[in-house]
Amino acid sequence: MTTPHCEVAGAIQELADTIASGRLTEPRCRRRAEELLQLLEDVSSGRGGSGHYEAMQKLARELVEDSADSGCVETGESMSRLLAQHREVFASHIETFICPSGDCVKLAPAPCQIACPAGIDVPSYVTLIGMGRDAEAVDLIRESNPFPWVCGLVCTNPCELMCVRGRIDESISIKFLKGFAAERAMSEGTYRNPAKARDNGRKVAIIGAGPAGLTAAYFLALKGYRVTVIESLPVAGGMMMVGIPRYRLPREVIDREVAMIADLGVEIRLNTRLGVDVTIDQLRDEGFEAFLFAIGAHGSLKLMIPGEDDYPQVINAVGLLRRVALGDRRSPGKRVAVVGGGNVAIDAARTCLRLGCEQVVLAYRRSRSEMPAHVEEIHQAEEEGVALRFLTVPKEVVGTDGKVTGLLCLRAELGQPDERGRRRPVPVEGSEHLLEVDAVIPAIGQRVETESLVPLEELKWSKRQTIMTNNITMETSVSGLFAAGDAVSGPATVVEAIGGGKRAAEALDRHLQGIPQPEMPPVPVRRRRLECIEVPAPTKMVLKRPEMPLLNTDRRRITFQQVELGYPENAVREEARRCLRCDICRRCGRCVEICRDLMGVNALQLGYLDFDHPVASDLRVTSERCIACGACAANCPNEAMVMQDQEGERSLSLCGTTLNRLDLERCEACGVVVGTTRYRNFISERVSKAGLSMEGGTLCADCARRHRAARQSDNLPPG
Amino acid sequence: MSVYYLFQDAGKCIGCHSCEVACKSNKGLPVGPRLCQVITVGPKMVGDLPRAAYTFMPCFHCENPWCVAACPTGAMQKREKDGIVFVEESLCVGCKSCMSACPWGAPQWSAEARKVVKCDYCKDRVDDGLKPACATVCTSHCLHFGKPEEIPPVRRERYAKAMAIFE
């Protein structure tokens, strides 16, 4: 057995070995050790409660104090040491029901949940949505993330990248399922806030009403704090509102979710600029005890080429998107060049089309495969008519009479990879050519606008000019000042900002309550262990990820209407049924090993969980070959594989997927189940190879014994 | 057959099940599996009296065992040196093939371990020169374990006594 990485699993192994070795000879000491082992196993299997840690400490202490036996004292000391050193690991097992290493099998997390920066329990809400329980799904998501609707539309879905189903065909459409559930719950009026803790009277100020700030506001309000959010713009939502265009994220979505947060008693002061309209000192005088800076990265990086500052038609993308979001829908020009290859560049280009630009060229200095923008977004931009020009490096903005007339560019070739592994573009000498445009929109990156924080001299900044924080607690170099979101990470995603806001809220709470800060990064929380939805294997294989219906391209080119129209309800329920429930099946492959290597039946074609034997995954093959012996189920560490006898049938299922169903055979004497015909044929074939035959018809083991005993006694001579 | 013989003198057995208890406690078995079992046959009326027979059913350690032939994983094995048939626990995956194949119902299911357990004549005890657990506790001394030649000829003697005619 390999040494576990998880301290809980390690402690169990150590203690179990000690008990088995027989070193603990004193009965009282042995009993204590066994009790301690039981408590450890509770913690490791998700049955730990609030008193477990203290109870384990007490038992370990008693082992030391109440015995003269050296084996007993050593065991107690060792356990006490483990408990003290890894207190947080034990606590996190008890509180989150997740063992990040996966050594505690029942608590092994699903890859999608681990991938989510907000740590949402994805398999549980996907299952709830599959069951049609949308409101519960939204409640569950909002335990980790207050913006299910926003994220359901614009999340960069790292969960789907990790989705195990993607190894069979395509990943589950997690993002859109979430969006559907949130929309449905909102429309039915079942989108609700969780219960709030009692008002504790303490005031926290959050600077910036973006995803990070509002997430922190939500979690702090739930803990009973009086939260005020300071926002310089006339609208709440931050980059979600002024960075993401309306055709991807309708304003109503943000407004409704922000309103839910405001409903918790969070005060949002709009049009209030820190350092201008209000200062930190003034806020301190108002009674605010702690601060969170979630000011985002609203500044733009410059192209650093001649002519950039000379014309009003050079408009940075962030500025343009903000202007448009706030209602100014004047077109920047007839022919526009957007410079950059990220999501913001695509957003700016598509926005320009909708503002009436006749020609939109997107100039990117590398090639298509290096573009950081989301593939879907690039695809949709091209459909709408954005022209992509790769390997194009801007050299100079040219113009006459104070007006842009073109962008002078160089062609580039890809050279050596840089430190991030992307090949560096190398301009080709003498390849100058002019893009004839009347507006240039640089979208090559964003920076944090540091001006409002200049008075805070002790605040430390990173090399990238973002706020430096402890990445576990999000606390800055100034005690009581926290930071989160793009202001810390540089321009990133909504869901990363939400994750940061959540961490900051937890740390702020601890700071104000005087509780020590955590030393390990937060672990996501398993919210439920839901039963699996029953799906026959052929259905599970045949169901395909649905295509997202899109608004027609004509309308997409001229309006800001939402492009992705959402799945119909039946597609959503079916899609949820494709989920493999990786929160239950941890893909250890024991079932496959047993069926293939030990039983020689090879009925489980589960290539997706077996990197050493990359066979094609097909859940349908099982019903052709499986003899229903049940060895896979008997050895499944987490009851993911289940064999059941019901209504004359034996069925085998993996996380709800019915792999096989066979008619049962019964004992001819007592009627007890003796297996299936295929199973008995398998045995009889093996036995006949040894020159034997299955004797005595179909009798169960008990009846066989009784039957033979009776025959034997008949043969006995009279006693 | 193994080189050993576990002989029950059925005429002396009173069906007290001590052998079963000793067996289970020696192996530390949970509720369910009974590696050896005393089966009560009858009662039947013999003459005017009801009579019951108690048949001791351990594993017979066959010469060509069904269970070993049926086992796909090689967990069920026959010991080279003395022919004892036993389960190598680490190899058993719980497919129960041996249980279905055995005509005597000797292999038993341990729901706790999710594996098969089976009488192995307490081979660890035998290797230490001891008798199997069942044979050490028999209250009426009807269980005898040893090489066939060491087993007392009780049945023959009793039959002879019954047949004896004193002139």
B103, A719: Cβ pair inside 8 Å?
no
Distances (CA, A) of A477 to A25, A32, A247, A288, A482: 54, 46, 40, 19, 9
What is the Cα–Cα distance from A571 to A67, expressed in whole angstroms? 65
Which residues of chain B neighbour A674 with C-beta distances below 8 Å? Answer: 100
A709, B57: Cβ pair inside 8 Å?
yes
Report the residue of chain B nearest A598, measured CA to CA.
B73
Number of H-type helices and E-type strands within chain B: 6, 8
Which of A58, A147, A131, A44 has its CA nearest to residue A89?
Answer: A44
CB atoms within 10 A of CB A705: 22
Mean pLDDT confidence for B77-90: 91
Q: What is the pLDDT of residue A716?
A: 52
What is the Cα–Cα distance from A110 to A585, expressed in whole angstroms? 9
Q: What is the pLDDT of residue A96?
A: 87
Confidence of residue A165 (pLDDT cuts 50, 70, 90): very high
Per-residue pLDDT tens digits for A36-76? 999 999 999 888 888 899 999 999 999 888 877 888 888 99
Token pair 């949308």 is found at: A134
Flag whether pLDDT at A123 surpasses 60: yes
B104, A705: Cβ pair inside 8 Å?
yes
A594, B105: Cβ pair inside 8 Å?
no
What is the Cα–Cα distance from A662 to A679, expressed in whole angstroms? 10
Per-residue pLDDT tens digits for A553-591? 999 999 999 999 999 999 999 999 999 999 999 888 899
Structure tokens at A363: 């100039």
Calculate how close chain B gets to A12, using CA atoms only, in Å. 18
Contacts of A275 (CB under 8 A, 6+ apart): A451, A452, A453, A454, A455
SS3 B49: strand
Distances (CA, A) of A470 to A87, A479, A504: 21, 11, 10
Annotate B44-67 with b (16+ C-beta within 10 A) or e (fewer): eeeeeeeeebbbbbbbbbbeebbb
Calculate how close chain B gets to A694, using CA atoms only, in Å. 6
Residue B43 near chain A (CB below 8 Å): no
Which residues of chain B neighbour A717 with C-beta distances below 8 Å? Answer: 155, 159
Confidence of residue A719 (pLDDT cuts 50, 70, 90): very low
User: Which one of B100, B112, B156 makes the best mutation probe of the A interface by having the most chain A beta carbons within 10 Å?
Assistant: B100
Per-residue pLDDT tens digits for A600-630? 999 998 888 877 777 888 999 999 999 999 9
B105, A704: Cβ pair inside 8 Å?
yes
What is the Cα–Cα distance from A153 to A150, expressed in whole angstroms? 5
A705, B10: Cβ pair inside 8 Å?
no
B100, A683: Cβ pair inside 8 Å?
yes
A691, B93: Cβ pair inside 8 Å?
no
Within a 13 Å sphere around the CA of B107, how many CA atoms are in the beta-carbon half?
A: 29
Across A97-101, A128-132, A265-269, least confident range: A97-101
Residue A692 near chain B (CB below 8 Å): yes
Of B57, B69, B93, the CB nearest to A599: B93
Confidence of residue B48 (pLDDT cuts 50, 70, 90): confident
Residue B7 near chain A (CB below 8 Å): no
User: DSSP letters along A226-237, please?
Assistant: EEEEE-SSSSSS
Flag whether pLDDT at A1 surpasses 90: no
- Residue A710, exposed/middle/buried by CB under 10 A (0-12, 13-18, 19+)? middle
Q: What's the whole-number average pLDDT of chain A?
A: 91
Flag whether pLDDT at A718 surpasses 60: no
- Enter the DSSP assignment of A263: T
Compute chain B's Rg from CA coordinates.
18
Contact A670, A648 (CB under 8 A): no
Does the N-terminal peptide bond of residue A568 adopt cis geometry, omega within 30 degrees of 0? no
Across A386-390, A455-459, A595-599, A676-680, least confident range: A455-459
Report the residue of chain B nearest A595, measured CA to CA.
B93
Question: Crossing angle of helices A52-65/A27-44, nearest 10°?
Answer: 160
- Please report which residue ranges of A536-635 form alpha helices under DSSP H: 537-542, 553-558, 569-576, 590-593, 621-625, 631-635
Q: What is the pLDDT of residue A149?
A: 97
Which of A306, A303, A320, A300 has its CA nearest to residue A399?
Answer: A306
What is the Cα–Cα distance from A261 to A240, expressed in whole angstroms? 15
Task: Give the amino acid at A118.
Answer: A
Structure tokens at A404: 């842009």
What is the Cα–Cα distance from A312 to A441, expressed in whole angstroms? 11
A716, B53: Cβ pair inside 8 Å?
yes
Confidence of residue A256 (pLDDT cuts 50, 70, 90): very high
B41, A713: Cβ pair inside 8 Å?
yes
Confidence of residue A358 (pLDDT cuts 50, 70, 90): very high
Which residues of chain A neighbour B95 with C-beta distances below 8 Å? Answer: 599, 629-631, 634
Which residues of chain A neighbour B155 with C-beta distances below 8 Å? Answer: 717
B94, A630: Cβ pair inside 8 Å?
yes
Flag whether pLDDT at B31 surpasses 50: yes
Report the residue of chain A nearest B72, measured CA to CA.
A599
Residue B44 near chain A (CB below 8 Å): no
What is the Cα–Cα distance from A487 to A238, expressed in whole angstroms? 12
B97, A690: Cβ pair inside 8 Å?
no
Residue B39 near chain A (CB below 8 Å): yes
Of B55, B101, B107, the CB nearest to A683: B101
B68, A690: Cβ pair inside 8 Å?
yes
Q: What is the SS3 string spanning A363-416? A: ECCCCHHHCCCCHHHHHHHHHHCCEEECCEEEEEEEEECCEEEEEEEEEEEEEE
- Enter the DSSP assignment of A531: P
Task: Give the amino acid at A114.
Answer: I
Higher pLDDT, A137 or A517: A137
Flag whether pLDDT at A654 surpasses 90: yes
User: DSSP letters along A415-438, please?
Assistant: EEE-TTSPEEEEEPTT--EEE--S
Residue B137 near chain A (CB below 8 Å): no
Flag whether pLDDT at B55 surpasses 60: yes
Per-residue pLDDT tens digits for A138-152? 999 999 999 999 999
Q: Which of residues 368-397 of A touch B (CB under 8 A)?
A: none
What is the Cα–Cα distance from A122 to A175, expressed in whole angstroms? 10
Residue A149 near chain B (CB below 8 Å): no
SS3 B164: coil
SS3 A628: coil
SS3 A161: helix
Of these ranges, A208-212, A455-459, B90-94, B97-101, the one predicted with the greatest mean pLDDT is A208-212
Which residues of chain A neighbour B101 with C-beta distances below 8 Å? Answer: 683-684, 686-687, 694
Of B95, B107, B159, the CB nearest to A629: B95
Which residues of chain B neighbour A601 with C-beta distances below 8 Å? Answer: 72
Per-residue pLDDT tens digits for A536-554? 999 999 999 999 999 999 9
User: Which one of B76, B93, B96 makes the best mutation probe of the A interface by having the most chain A beta carbons within 10 Å?
Assistant: B93
- Enter the DSSP assignment of A594: I
Q: What is the pLDDT of residue A714?
A: 60
Which residues of chain A neighbour B116 with C-beta distances below 8 Å? Answer: none
Per-residue pLDDT tens digits for A397-440? 999 999 999 999 999 999 888 887 888 899 999 999 999 999 99
Residue A600 near chain B (CB below 8 Å): yes
Of B93, B101, B106, the CB nearest to A635: B93
- Percent of all residues in chain A with a pLDDT value above 90, rounded to a whole number: 70
Token pair 């008997």 is found at: A634
Which residues of chain A neighbour B91 with C-beta distances below 8 Å? Answer: 598
